A and B are shown apart, each in its own frame.
Chain A
Amino acid sequence: MQKNASFKGLTIPLLLLLPQLAITVVFFYWPASQAVWQSFLLQDAFGTSTEFVWFENYQLLFTDPGYLKAFWNTAIFSTFVCVLSLSIALLFAVMADRQIRGAEVYKTLLIWPYAVAPAIAGVLWIFMFDPSLGMLARGLGRLGIAWNPRLNGNDAMTLVILAATWKQISYNFLFFLAGLQSIPKSVIEAAVIDGARPWRRFWTIVFPLLSPTTFFLLVVNIVYVFFDTFGIIDTVTGGGPSGHTETLVYKVYSDGKGGSNLGGSAAQSVVLLIMVIGMTAIQFRFIERRVNY
């Protein structure tokens, strides 16, 4: 953490730290503390007076069916996106890890969607699956499958899951590939000599050795689904139809936007904050462990 032959002094290091600390305090700590403070306040309907109400906003929140539904939506959304994007990415990474000709080209062709903005990914998918003009939506129609993400909540959820998964595969692929390439070849060769077939080798040797990567990716993916998918949801469904794709972050935005329910929106922010802190803590405990081994 600290160099042995370090410099001494106080003014210079504080000046060096000043830009970052100033921005951090003004745009991180102050607003975050405001969110916590507001979550204990209740505004009357005209915004003229506020009252300190302890945990009433939280009570209201957890009895609000809309909020519980957003929880449920987020759980479904995260589960599907994590399982799909992790397993598809792992499959691609295992294939790209073989010493085949052109593996590098395939790698390049698979990683660039990382650079596509979530909101743009949403636009690409709504264009394919728009019920009236989307090419793939028409294909579904010809197959006799009813499809309308504007009206049907499950269709809408399916569409945001597909878009979010599509966007996340490249990220997971890259980390899985790096993980696979760090597994010593000698371990695999030993298994080959012992006569283990590829399928068995994968599940008994490669997959367990990848578990640190998988676990790390799981946490990162959950954080991705929680926060970064806002753009996807906003462009694809706008939270609709009737709240079927409203996630926790989306609800913070839509409830706070009008400014009428600041306390409730702030309480939602605080709930999210606690969840993020929990996830970060889990991740760091795990990283500590990995460093020690």
Chain B
Amino acid sequence: MVEDRRLGDAIAYVILSIGVLIVAFPVWLTFVASTWDNPTIINGQLPLWPGPHFFDNYYRILFVGTSGTTREPVAGMMLNSFIMAMAIAVGKIFISVLSAYAIVYYRFPFRMAAFWIIFLTLMLPVEVRIFPTFKVVSDLRMLDTYQGLAVPLIASATGTLLFRQFFMTIPDELLEASKIDGAGPFKFFKDTVIPLSMTTIAALFVIQFIYGWNQYLWPLLVTTRDSMQTIVIGIKKMIVTSDALTEWQLAMATAMLAMLPPVLVVIAMQRLFVKGLVETEK
């Protein structure tokens, strides 16, 4: 372009740096707090740099637990969160690949009906049917189980719609060619459709893993035993309104540990993450 860009670029650097600061500051402060001891925090004398208690705090919260509020060590909670997130991500991919394949590649009665039944669930977030769903799960004796945590959250239209959209872009010639080669629907699915869908599957996996890990309201209702709670639930129980009881250094270490896996996933798989985010929302 023809005009002088230096001033504009300088402004851009300043604004973006301020943006990064705003975004990062709360997390930095949390990290700092997780490396000091509780009296320093409670007295409001927390500095802006890390302290000497990093290893004590993280060891204690991971394997021992807090002393007052919730006694479970966080390692177990992270395992629960991980199982839940994996079950939601894998389960959703599994059921939606199958249903999308049926809807796109088969001609059968009720096809449109099936599509609409799935499609309409786009409009039913778990929050609007929270207590009746809770009752179903409790009648099925699925409270305090991994199935109860994951299964109600794996059925939704987003995955099916995403795969449907992707399957529509697979050229018909591939299907015709594999039919000529004598491949049936299962062989075509296994040898052609799935290999072509790997990027879409990975992108959906990234988004669903984050979604599953970050769930709050649903695990709050479905888990009653401390040993089943997820890390996002666990932290809420550590922060008591009367400050004296809260072991802030441990709560903040828990917050760091709760953020770590999904944030790492976003940073390590940024391309897939962006693809998944942009495409599931279409």
Q: Hey, which bits of chain A sit against chain B, CB under 8 A?
A: 1-10, 12-14, 16-17, 19-21, 23-32, 34-35, 38, 88, 91-92, 95-96, 98, 100, 106, 108-121, 123-128, 130, 132-135, 138, 150, 166, 169-171, 174-175, 178, 189, 192-193, 198, 216, 220, 223, 227, 230-231, 234-235, 238, 249, 252-253, 256, 262, 265-266, 269, 272-273, 276-277, 280, 287
Contacts and interface: CB of A to CB of B under 8 A. Distances in A.
Among A20, A174, A192, chain B packs the most CB atoms within 10 A around the CB of A20
A111 B270 contact: yes
Contact of A20 (B20, B98, B109): B98
Given A5-B175, A118-B216, A133 B41 contact: yes
Given A31-B132, A130-B243, A115 B154 contact: no
Contact of A234 (B44, B151, B216): B216
Interface stretch (B57-65, B67-75, B194-202, B258-266): B258-266
Contact of A252 (B23, B130, B214): B130
A19 B273 CA distance: 26
B281 A28 contact: no
Given A9-B108, A17-B99, A98-B9, A135 B46 contact: yes
Contacts of A14: 102, 108, 110
Contacts of A235: 235-236, 239
Given A123-B235, A133-B46, A193-B2, 5 more contacts: A27-B151, A100-B13, A119-B232, A166-B26, A227-B127
B16 A16 contact: no
28 contacts: A1-B104, A2-B104, A3-B175, A6-B104, A7-B185, A16-B106, A17-B114, A21-B118, A25-B117, A28-B124, A29-B117, A35-B129, A92-B19, A96-B12, A98-B12, A100-B9, A115-B262, A117-B258, A120-B258, A123-B235, A128-B26, A192-B2, A192-B3, A223-B125, A234-B216, A266-B132, A273-B123, A276-B123
Given A3-B104, A5-B172, A13-B108, A35 B266 contact: no
Contact of B214 (A31, A111, A118, A170): A118
Q: Which 10 A-B pairs have the closest CB atoms?
A: A31-B132, A117-B214, A23-B155, A115-B262, A34-B132, A231-B216, A16-B102, A13-B106, A13-B102, A124-B26
Contact of A109 (B24, B29, B125): B24
A109 B23 contact: yes
B259 A132 contact: no
Interface of B: 1-3, 5, 8-9, 11-13, 15-16, 19-20, 22-24, 26-27, 29-30, 33, 41-44, 46, 94-96, 98-99, 101-111, 114, 117-118, 121-125, 127-133, 135-137, 151-152, 154-155, 160, 168, 172, 175-176, 179, 185, 210, 213-217, 220, 232-233, 235-236, 239, 241, 243, 248, 251-252, 255, 258-259, 262-263, 265-267, 270, 273-274, 277-278, 281-282
Contacts of A3: 104-105, 172, 175
A112 B23 CA distance: 9
Contacts of B11: 95
